[in-house]
A and B are shown apart, each in its own frame.
Chain A
Amino acid sequence: MSMLELREVSKSYGQGSAEVQALREVSLSAAEGEMVAVMGPSGSGKSTLLTIAGTLEGPTTGEVLIAGQPVSTASRGAKARLRRRVIGYVFQDFNLLPGLTAAENVSLPLELDGLSARKARLAGLRALDRLGLGERAGHYPDQLSGGERQRVAIARAMVGERRLLLADEPSGALDSVNAQAVMRLLHAACKDGRMAAVVVTHDAQLASWADRVVFLRDGRVTDQTAPAPGPESLLTPELNQ
């Protein structure tokens, strides 16, 4: 099932001579269990694509479907529920609340959604455990390393029954080892659960964790990778000459 579908989405800002076309007829989908990376240079429309996929902004033209439901016909309240229950966001700079512990940061979205504090806390602890942070649940963000903070942010994005994970340069502030670890976690989250993920990055090594890589240029999808064959073909090259 397609968790996210963008159908010929265009987005422009401003009017007349000041009009900027951020996205042009972009069609993109991410199925359950699939991780899609969007690669492109600065200004290619990557972040706009994510904000529209996350229903934080509407497209100028085109249609967005989340879990098969068109967003354009959803009420304001229904969109807010989608954002709280179905979509998880991961940002480059973590966006954790400094006055809350790791567990409180992770369980907050569930509490805001009306779940009891106890149930929310249990779900938060489970999510932290899944990312290997069970023992750091009581720590505040400033007591955690950069890599741990991003794992908390991923736990927060996955907690509950989230089905669509949107990540904007999630490894941007991390060293290469931690950046790889973050991508491994996102990839595993898609494979283990029933999630789909769209990850925006300019880094080919990070994008290569994805099942499919979509290339964006000047607001258009210009190309995408074919489904990769298994790694076996790499390990049986011709015998050395």
Chain B
Amino acid sequence: MSVRHAMLALLSEGPKYGLQLRAEFEARTGEVWPLNVGQVYTTLQRLERDGLVESDGAGEAGPQKGFLITAEGERELARWLRTPPDLSSPPRDELVMKVLVARHVPSADVHAVIQAHRRYLVELMQQWTRIKEDDTGSDLGMLLAVDAELFRLDSVVRWLDAAEARVRRAAADGAMTWADQASPQNPTRAPLPRHRREARLRG
């Protein structure tokens, strides 16, 4: 999450003080991502150094110091809003790793591992959904942030469902993946997809 750009977005509405920026940031993001005040002032100092904001005084950053966005800051904000974050490389997801590894641990039941994660995720989703129970008068930013979290957790549950179905099918078919086929006696593997080969070369 870019606090830097979130600050620029808040300043695009008009000049503001640091404490005000912190309060508005938390309110707009549904208080899902709290900020400490030091982080706000450090960010503002860097934005000022880079010419993206200006302050109304030369003193130390503090509650009485106001900030406003510069024309360069406006351009940077517009560029950031339209630039998709880099999602091209799969993150090294701990949950995914645990399920992949569990398949090869003799004492582990991969279905039990999957279910433990599924239950935890659904319990978390129940907590998030409680926030939506009475959304009349709730802050729109909070509802959007809650929905985002619910969709994210839901996608992981769906992956667990699909993974479980795939593991069961593979067990029933006695099928082996390209990774399973590789062994010291049989080092041949199916080729990696092209983009992964290139990424590996670059890395």
Chain A residues closer than 8 Å to B34, beta-carbon distance: 236-237, 239-240
Interface status of B165 (Cβ within 8 A of chain A): yes
User: Chain B nearest CB: distance from A134 CB in Å?
Assistant: 18
Interface status of A231 (Cβ within 8 A of chain B): yes
Please classify how large the interface on chain A is, using the bins under 10, 10 to 19, 20 to 34, 35 or more. Answer: 20 to 34
Chain A residues closer than 8 Å to B157, beta-carbon distance: 204
Using known A-B contacts A204-B154, A240-B34, determine if residue A225 contacts B122 with beta carbons closer than 8 Å. yes
Q: Which of A65-73, A142-150, A158-166, A205-213 contacts B (4 or more CB under 8 A)?
A: A205-213
Looking at the complex, which one of A41, A210, A223 makes contact with B115 (CB distance below 8 Å)? A223
For the residues of B in contact with A, the DSSP-based class is: helix
Chain B residues closer than 8 Å to A236, beta-carbon distance: 34
Complex: A234 Cα to B133 Cα, angstroms:
15
User: Chain A nearest CB: distance from B43 CB in Å?
Assistant: 11
Interface status of A39 (Cβ within 8 A of chain B): yes
Interface status of A18 (Cβ within 8 A of chain B): no
User: Chain A nearest CB: distance from B155 CB in Å?
Assistant: 10
Using known A-B contacts A240-B33, A240-B35, determine if residue A207 contacts B122 with beta carbons closer than 8 Å. yes
Cβ of B115 and Cβ of A208 under 8 Å apart? no
Please classify how large the interface on chain B is, using the bins under 10, 10 to 19, 20 to 34, 35 or more. Answer: 20 to 34
Per-residue 0/1 for B59-83: is the Cβ within 8 Å of any A Cβ (1 yes, 0 no)?
Answer: 0000000000000000000000000
Interface status of A184 (Cβ within 8 A of chain B): yes
Cβ of B158 and Cβ of A204 under 8 Å apart? yes
Per-residue 0/1 for B31-48: is the Cβ within 8 Å of any A Cβ (1 yes, 0 no)?
Answer: 111111001000000000
Closest to A228 in B: B126
User: Chain B nearest CB: distance from A202 CB in Å?
Assistant: 8
User: B1-48: which residues lie under 8 A (CB-CB) from chain A?
Assistant: 3, 31-36, 39
Cβ of A228 and Cβ of B123 under 8 Å apart? yes
Cβ of B126 and Cβ of A213 under 8 Å apart? yes
Chain A residues closer than 8 Å to B115, beta-carbon distance: 215, 222-223
Per-residue 0/1 for A215-228: is the Cβ within 8 Å of any B Cβ (1 yes, 0 no)?
Answer: 10000001111101
Cβ of A239 and Cβ of B36 under 8 Å apart? yes
Complex: A112 Cα to B129 Cα, angstroms:
38
Interface status of B113 (Cβ within 8 A of chain A): no
Complex: A44 Cα to B9 Cα, angstroms:
49
Complex: A187 Cα to B133 Cα, angstroms:
9
Looking at the complex, which one of A39, A184, A237, A240 makes contact with B122 (CB distance below 8 Å)? A39
Chain B residues closer than 8 Å to A1, beta-carbon distance: none
Looking at the complex, which one of B33, B129, B151 makes contact with A209 (CB distance below 8 Å)? B129
Complex: A224 Cα to B119 Cα, angstroms:
7
Complex: A239 Cα to B3 Cα, angstroms:
13
User: Chain B nearest CB: distance from A57 CB in Å?
Assistant: 27
User: A9-47: which residues lie under 8 A (CB-CB) from chain B?
Assistant: 39, 41
Interface status of A114 (Cβ within 8 A of chain B): no
Chain B interface residues toward A at CB < 8 A: 3, 31-36, 39, 115, 118-119, 121-133, 150-151, 153-154, 157-158, 161, 164-165
**28 chain-A/chain-B pairs, Cβ below 8 angstroms:** A41-B161, A184-B132, A202-B161, A204-B122, A204-B125, A204-B153, A204-B157, A204-B158, A205-B151, A208-B128, A208-B150, A209-B126, A209-B129, A222-B115, A224-B119, A226-B123, A228-B127, A228-B130, A230-B130, A231-B128, A231-B130, A231-B131, A234-B131, A235-B31, A235-B32, A240-B3, A240-B35, A240-B36
